[in-house]
């Protein structure tokens, strides 16, 4: 709701807190607060109605009133927060002071401060009350509610109607999707064009799902046109964002009954319409398309009319929302166009075809344009319309200056914006600020999920829910945006773990436009040459900028985000007064010119401090003044020691200090005071019994990733104490532990025995577990009784017995199995590993995938060790055919006859129904130093393989051919394979790393 109401969502609870808290407000002030609370509730109810109507349909008076109220709510929250900071901050200082005389002086000073603060809040409340009264008077004077109701009642023509009447010759890149969907609907009997398929005993429902602009309606109409002659009754009916169920049912009935008079359907209610439809469809074979479903409940009512009469009837639906598709029928995920088809559509829209281009094609510019479009037909058509009629030399200028959100009265741009706005205005009010917040990140940026959620929490976007943490509520918000196709998921190393996201350029341009209109985010990037000295921005995003901003005065700034900037481009902290979020990422701060953190202690309202990727080497001791700080992110910095005052941050929920590149950080005593911590990520050196003891006090921990570096052997007592402390953390969901050694120690983590884990009593909520070290056998506590929610497991086990396999295979939620589990002389029986999608294992002897086991497995990494004789014991490779969902096989072979094992893998891939892609890594007994030096070449080969289709086998164990100068083959958009990165190849070349949350 912050998009319209500003800080209203968080302000109302704070006003309530002032009334019931022990703040001893003056009588007049308390009355003012009560009056404000009543007025704000009333205004908030009116603004909920405003939020339901697109901004461009609202009367200007309504927009002005809503903007005024938004700014008023910000100012009001600043006043209340300043009061709470003064009162709570001074109280905590007095309590924590151990010196009695000094503590008495602090209390006396607090009496004066509190009295002065109460006087200030009294004056501020009177001023705000007067402003609120003026806003309320305007609300009544201009009849805001009536204006909103009139705007909501207006219906404009949906531009998607054009997709229903496109000439088939204009459609580009639809053939493959049309053929695949037709085949799915006809079950492969007949070609779906002239031959009538055999009637199927049951009705089938297929739902086309994908983001706005991808062409779902176009595809559905093309398939409908192809198949409709094979059915007795057909109908193509749009549903829309605000469906009227009676109208949808009436439209279906009119279409299926158009050959005869069906009476006056206008007077029938929903039940009568459903009964009439069921009677008409009872003995007929029908094809019905319900286009653009947003509301699952409305669909459930409409579906009642579709009787399953065992005549092979078909229903096609389209939707942007994955949950709707999942609850509608079989899912068909529409893929973006490939690079080649995108280019065909682009030049067809511009010139009628690439061969008709009147000048040499500007490949570099057009490639950038198509990359921005991301294979979305609507985006390609829109930007092509902007370039139509403009000389080639102006393409770059147009591309850089015009986004999808505006476009000089261009019809295609306007239609694109409308189509995108349907998805935006269908979002619940609580999701809109979360989506608009993504505009603080640059184009094509990979946004980490955990970081994003903690920023939402700090911004106040996440609502408190009984019995649920703020992070978990924020994670649900993130998943809802994924589900609605507003953001694009990014997996961690093809592990089926979504740990980050991207935002399509088309959506990014839309939200940047909305953010600018509503003063939600002010963006200053490298293209912005002139900046005002006075800025009333509430949120500032500085992106890839080098031009200084040091002279800007921003007294009302609540959030500052800086990404990939020069130090001078980030405003000084001395300019901030009410800052809540300071997030600086990948900024090139120098060791000898650190960012001015000396003002950090003067930001008492700060909730989020992110310094990831900067070169800042020291935090000021004054950080302890930040009593409301919730997140402290120090990843990939040069900080080697946390200040002693870190223990004063009692509201801290997330501490990230797992420094990259084998860095370590010294943690002071007192970490146990941070009892609000939910996430802790640390890289420390040597053992500290005090730290282990204090760790047991952090009972709210939900995530713990912990790396300890040693110069000597690991102390057994320390390890046992560490596990004992972990037993006290019964809310833990993610646990990742690693011991490593400096170069002085020859031992490696694989040689560290893990017997000390035998006494561990895990939390039943544990869902992600990674332990570096070696287990002789699988710990007895890894079973379905103790770990019913475990979905990710990374562990090294020297010898898996039959009972171990039973314990692992019975874990009901296990999705990813990594590490090195040695398999020899066993079978995976029917029903084991029901949800496993990715598996890494080390094979040293015969075993077998039986039919019915691992039915969900999509990716498998095999480390095959057969030094003595590769001719026996490896028939298991042929059992890969018993894995029905398999899509990718990576085999790393250590054998006397590498080629024999590779040949077996190639044969298994060739005969597998899915024809999964395979990577055969070049490791064997006869490998030479020269071959070993070809590792970079191998990486390039595997990277190129990621652009090949799913039937290709990439064999790098044979001759490595340098084709880096050759043009990579086109990717088949209907069968995409995950993109390989150098880091993922490095991981595959050894063993998968412990995942960093």
Q: How far is CA 723 from CA 70, 138, 758, in A?
A: 50, 64, 9
pLDDT for the residue numbered 633: 94
Q: What is the pLDDT of residues 124-180, one digit of tens each?
A: 767 777 777 777 776 666 555 555 555 544 545 455 555 555 555 556 767 888 888
The answer, yes or no, to whether residue 395 has pLDDT greater than 70, is: yes
Could you give the CA distance from residue 600 to residue 619 in angstroms, rounded to a whole number?
Answer: 9
In the predicted model, what is the mean pLDDT of residues 675-694?
84
What pLDDT sits at residue 514? Answer: 86
Question: Which among 887, 982, 868 is positioned nearest to 936, based on CA atoms?
Answer: 982
Q: What is the pTM of this model?
A: 0.77
Most confident range, picked from 238-247, 606-615, 747-756, 915-924: 606-615
d(CA 796, CA 483): 35
The helix (run of H) or strand (run of E) holding residue 83 is helix 60-96
State the Rg of the chain over Cα. 31
Q: Is the pLDDT of residue 581 over 90?
A: yes
Q: What is the C-alpha separation between 623 and 558, in angstroms, rounded?
A: 18
Q: Residue 481: what pLDDT?
A: 92
Helix pair 296-303, 245-256: axis angle to 10 deg: 40
pLDDT score of 946 more than 60 = no
| First-last CA distance in the chain | 30
770: pLDDT confidence band, cut at 50, 70 and 90? very high
Cβ proximity of 531 and 524 under 8 Å: yes
CA pair distance 437, 450, nearest whole angstrom: 15
Q: Is 821 helix (H, G, I), strand (E, B) or coil?
A: strand
Task: Mean pLDDT check: name the lowest of 458-462, 764-768, 874-878.
Answer: 874-878
Q: In 3D, which of 419, 414, 369, 373 has the Cα closest to residue 390?
A: 369
Question: DSSP labels for 115-174?
Answer: HHHHHHHHHHHHHHHHHHHHHHHHHHHTTHHHHHHHHHH--PPPGGGGGGG--GGG--S-
Strands 447-448 and 838-843: unpaired
**8 A C-beta contact, residue 888 and residue 860:** yes
CB atoms within 10 A of CB 834: 16
CA distance 293 to 240: 6
Q: Which residues does residue 498 pair with via DSSP β-bridges, in sequence order? A: 491
Residue 933 pLDDT exceeds 60 = no
Candidate ranges 16-30, 155-169, 510-524, 668-682; pick with highest mean pLDDT: 668-682
Per-residue pLDDT tens for 778-787? 899 999 999 9
For residue 504, pLDDT beyond 90:
no
Per DSSP, the three-state class of 837 is: coil
Query: In 804-922, where do the E strands start and end?
Result: 816-823, 826-828, 838-843, 847-849, 859-866, 888-895, 917-921
CATH superfamily, with its number, for domain 159-188+200-333: P-loop containing nucleotide triphosphate hydrolases (3.40.50.300)
Q: Is the pLDDT of residue 315 over 90?
A: yes
* Cα gap 79→117, rounded to integer Å: 10
How does DSSP assign 612-636, residue by residue?
TT-------GGGGG-TT--EEE-TT
We find that the CATH architecture of domain 1-92+106-152 is Up-down Bundle (1.20)
Query: Cα-flanking dihedrals φ and ψ of residue 522, to 5°?
Result: -105, 120
Q: Give the span between the Cα atoms of 997 and 994, in whole angstroms.
A: 9
Instruction: Tell me the C-alpha distance between 298 and 193, whole Å.
Output: 33
Q: How far apart are CA 240 and CA 253, in angstroms?
A: 18
Q: What value does the mean pLDDT of the chain take?
A: 75
Sign of the four-CA dihedral 500, 504, 505, 506 = negative
Q: Which of 262-266, 511-515, 798-802, 932-936 has the highest mean pLDDT?
A: 511-515
Question: Distance (Å, rounded) from C-alpha 215 to C-alpha 181?
Answer: 14
Q: Is 84 exposed, middle or buried (0-12, 13-18, 19+ CB in 10 A)?
A: buried
d(CA 854, CA 381): 44
Q: Specify the pLDDT at position 439.
A: 93
Q: What pLDDT band is residue 678 in, cutting at 50, 70 and 90?
A: very high
Q: What whole-number distance in Å separates Cα of residue 943 and Cα of residue 983? A: 11
Range with lowest mean pLDDT among 41-45, 161-165, 453-457, 813-817 = 161-165
Name the DSSP letter for residue 499.
E
pLDDT over 60 (residue 883): yes
Q: How far apart are CA 555 and CA 570, in angstroms?
A: 15
Residue 49 near residue 17, CB atoms below 8 Å: no
> What is the share, in percent, of the chain residues with pLDDT greater than 90?
19
User: Is residue 793's pLDDT more than 90?
Assistant: yes
**pLDDT of 402 over the 60 cut:** no
Give the model's pLDDT for residue 970. Answer: 36
Q: How far is CA 944 from CA 19, 939, 954, 956, in A?
A: 64, 9, 10, 12
Please report the pLDDT score of residue 984 as a whole number. 33
Bridge pairing between strands 314-319 and 488-491: unpaired
pLDDT at 734 over 90: yes
Is the pLDDT reported for residue 807 higher than 70?
yes
The pLDDT assigned to 631 comes to: 97
- Range with lowest mean pLDDT among 390-404, 460-474, 723-737: 390-404
CB 578 within 8 A of CB 604: no
User: What was the pLDDT predicted at 372?
Assistant: 74
More confident residue, 982 or 477: 477
Four-point Cα dihedral 306, 309, 314, 319, nearest 10: 30
Please tell me the distance from the alpha carbon of residue 158 to that of residue 415, in angstroms, as a whole number.
9
* Residue bearing the bigger pLDDT, 38 or 140: 38
Architecture of domain 427-515: Orthogonal Bundle (1.10)
Q: State in words which class domain 339-414 has.
A: mainly alpha
Instruction: Specify whether the CB–CB gap between 343 and 354 falls below 8 A.
Output: yes
Give the residue with greater pLDDT, 900 vs 767. 767
Predicted local confidence at residue 928, as pLDDT: 39
Cα angle, residue 72 at apex, residues 68 and 75 outer, rounded to 5°: 145
Q: Are strands 608-610 and 581-585 parallel, antiparallel or unpaired?
A: parallel
| Least confident residue range of 18-32, 135-149, 421-435, 879-893 | 135-149
Residue 872 CB coordination number (10 Å): 10
pLDDT, residue 765, reads: 94
Question: Helix, strand or coil for residue 372?
Answer: helix
DSSP string spanning 723-782? HHHHTT-TT--EEEEEEEE-TT----GGGSB-GGGGG----TT--EEEE-SBBSS--TT-
Strand arrangement of the beta sheet that strand 498-502 belongs to: 447-448, 498-502, 488-491
Distance of alpha carbon 414 from alpha carbon 418, whole angstroms = 6
The arithmetic mean of pLDDT across residues 800-815, rounded, is 88
Is residue 508 over pLDDT 60? yes
Convert 438-449 to b/e letters by CB count within 10 Å (16 or more is b). Answer: bbbbeeebebbb
Out of 14-28, 715-729, 892-906, 933-947, pick the least confident: 933-947
Strand, helix or coil at 895? strand
Q: How far apart are CA 817 and CA 105, in angstroms?
A: 59
Model confidence at 763: pLDDT above 60: yes
What is the model's pLDDT at position 797? 87
pLDDT at 210: 87
Distance CA(880)–CA(864), nearest Å, equals: 14
Pick from 109-123, 129-143, 528-542: least confident: 109-123
Choose between 198 and 803: higher pLDDT: 803
Provide the strand spans (E) within 565-665: 581-585, 608-610, 631-633, 654-657
């Amino acid at each position: 709701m912050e998009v319209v109401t500003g800080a209203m969502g968080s302000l109302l609870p704070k006003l309530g807190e002032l009334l019931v808290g022990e703040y001893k407000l003056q009588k007049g002030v308390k009355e003012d607060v009560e009056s404000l609370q009543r007025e704000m509730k009333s205004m908030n109810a009116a603004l909920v109605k405003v939020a339901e109507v697109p901004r461009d349909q609202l009367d200007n008076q309504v927009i002005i009133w809503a903007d005024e109220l938004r700014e008023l709510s910000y100012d009001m929250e600043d006043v209340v927060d300043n009061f709470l900071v003064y009162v709570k901050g001074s109280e905590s200082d007095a309590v924590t002071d151990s010196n009695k005389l000094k503590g008495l002086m602090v209390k006396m000073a607090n009496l004066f401060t509190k009295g002065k603060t109460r006087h200030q809040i009294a004056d501020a409340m009177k001023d705000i009350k007067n402003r609120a009264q003026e806003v309320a008077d305007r609300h009544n004077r201009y009849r805001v509610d009536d204006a909103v109701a009139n705007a909501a009642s207006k219906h404009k023509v949906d531009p998607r109607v054009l997709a229903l009447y496109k000439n088939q010759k204009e459609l580009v890149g639809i053939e493959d999707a049309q053929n695949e969907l037709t085949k799915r609907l006809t079950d492969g009997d007949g070609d779906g064009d002239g031959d009538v398929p055999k009637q199927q005993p049951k009705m089938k429902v297929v739902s086309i799902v994908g983001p706005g602009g991808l062409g779902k309606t176009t595809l559905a109409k093309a398939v409908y046109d192809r198949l409709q002659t094979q059915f007795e009754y057909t109908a193509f009916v749009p549903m829309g964002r605000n469906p009227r169920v009676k109208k949808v049912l009436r439209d279906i009935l009119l279409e299926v009954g158009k050959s005869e008079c069906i009476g006056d359907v206008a007077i029938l209610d929903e039940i009568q319409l459903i009964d009439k439809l069921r009677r008409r469809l009872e003995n007929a074979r029908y094809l019905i398309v319900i286009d653009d479903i947003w509301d699952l409940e409305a669909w459930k009512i409409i579906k009642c009319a579709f009787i399953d009469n065992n005549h092979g009837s078909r229903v096609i639906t389209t939707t942007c929302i994955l949950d709707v598709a999942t609850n509608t029928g079989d899912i068909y995920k529409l893929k973006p166009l490939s690079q080649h088809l995108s280019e065909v559509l682009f030049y067809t829209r511009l010139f009628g075809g690439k061969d008709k281009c009147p000048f040499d094609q500007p490949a570099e510019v057009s490639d950038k344009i198509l990359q921005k479009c991301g294979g979305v037909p609507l985006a390609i058509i829109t930007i092509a319309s902007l370039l139509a009629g403009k000389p080639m030399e102006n393409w770059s200028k147009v591309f850089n200056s015009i986004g999808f959100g505006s476009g000089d009265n261009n019809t295609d741009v306007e239609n694109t914006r409308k189509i995108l706005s349907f998805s935006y205005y269908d979002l619940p009010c609580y999701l809109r600020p979360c989506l608009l917040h993504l505009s603080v990140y640059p184009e094509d940026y990979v946004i980490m999920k955990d970081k994003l959620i903690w920023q939402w929490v700090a911004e106040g976007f996440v609502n408190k829910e009984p019995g649920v943490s703020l992070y978990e509520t924020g994670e649900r918000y993130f998943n809802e945006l994924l589900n609605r196709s507003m953001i694009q998921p990014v997996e961690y190393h093809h592990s089926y773990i979504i740990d980050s996201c991207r935002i399509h350029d088309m959506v990014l341009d839309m939200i940047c436009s909305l953010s600018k209109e509503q003063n939600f985010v002010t963006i200053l990037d490298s293209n912005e040459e002139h900046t005002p000295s006075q800025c009333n921005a509430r949120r500032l995003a500085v992106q890839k900028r080098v031009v200084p901003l040091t002279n800007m005065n921003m007294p009302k700034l609540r959030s500052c985000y800086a990404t990939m900037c020069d130090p001078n481009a980030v405003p000084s902290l001395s300019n901030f007064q009410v800052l809540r979020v300071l997030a600086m990422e990948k900024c090139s701060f120098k060791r000898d010119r650190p960012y001015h953190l000396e003002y950090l202690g003067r930001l008492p309202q700060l909730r989020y401090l992110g310094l990831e990727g900067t070169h800042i080497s020291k935090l000021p001791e004054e950080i302890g003044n930040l009593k409301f700080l919730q997140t402290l992110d120090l990843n990939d910095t040069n900080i080697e020691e946390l200040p002693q005052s870190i223990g004063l941050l009692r509201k801290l929920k997330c501490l990230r200090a797992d420094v990259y590149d084998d860095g370590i950080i010294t943690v002071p005593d007192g970490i146990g005071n941070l009892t609000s911590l939910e996430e802790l990520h640390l890289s420390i050196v040597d053992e500290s019994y005090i730290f282990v003891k204090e760790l047991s006090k952090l009972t709210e921990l939900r995530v713990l990733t912990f790396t300890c570096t040693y110069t000597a052997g690991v102390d057994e007592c320390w390890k046992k104490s560490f596990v004992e402390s972990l037993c006290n953390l019964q809310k833990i969901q993610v646990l990742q532990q690693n011991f490593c050694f400096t170069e002085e120690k020859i031992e490696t983590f694989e040689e560290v025995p893990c017997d000390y884990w035998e006494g561990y009593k895990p939390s039943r909520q544990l869902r992600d577990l990674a332990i570096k070290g070696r287990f002789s056998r699988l710990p007895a506590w890894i079973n379905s009784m103790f770990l019913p929610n475990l979905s990710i497991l990374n562990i090294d086990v020297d010898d898996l017995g039959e009972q171990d396999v039973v314990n692992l295979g019975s874990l009901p939620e296990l999705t990813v199995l990594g590490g090195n589990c040695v398999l020899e002389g066993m079978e995976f029986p029917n029903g084991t590993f029901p949800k496993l999608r990715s598996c890494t294992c080390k094979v040293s002897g015969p075993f077998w995938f039986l039919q019915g086991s691992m039915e969900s497995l999509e990716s498998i990494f095999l480390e095959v060790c057969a030094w003595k004789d590769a001719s026996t014991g490896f028939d298991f490779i042929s059992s890969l055919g018993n894995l029905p969902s398999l899509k990718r096989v990576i085999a790393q072979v250590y054998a006397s006859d590498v080629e024999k094992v590779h040949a077996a893998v190639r044969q298994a891939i060739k005969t597998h129904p899915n024809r999964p892609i395979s990577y055969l890594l070049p490791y064997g007994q006869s490998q030479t130093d020269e071959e070993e030096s070809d590792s970079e070449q191998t990486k390039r080969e595997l990277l190129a393989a990621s652009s090949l289709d799913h039937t290709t086998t990439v064999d790098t164990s044979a001759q490595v051919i340098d084709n880096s100068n050759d043009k990579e083959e086109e990717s088949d958009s209907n069968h995409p394979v995950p993109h390989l990165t150098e880091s993922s190849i490095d991981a595959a070349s050894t063993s998968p790393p412990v995942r960093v949350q």
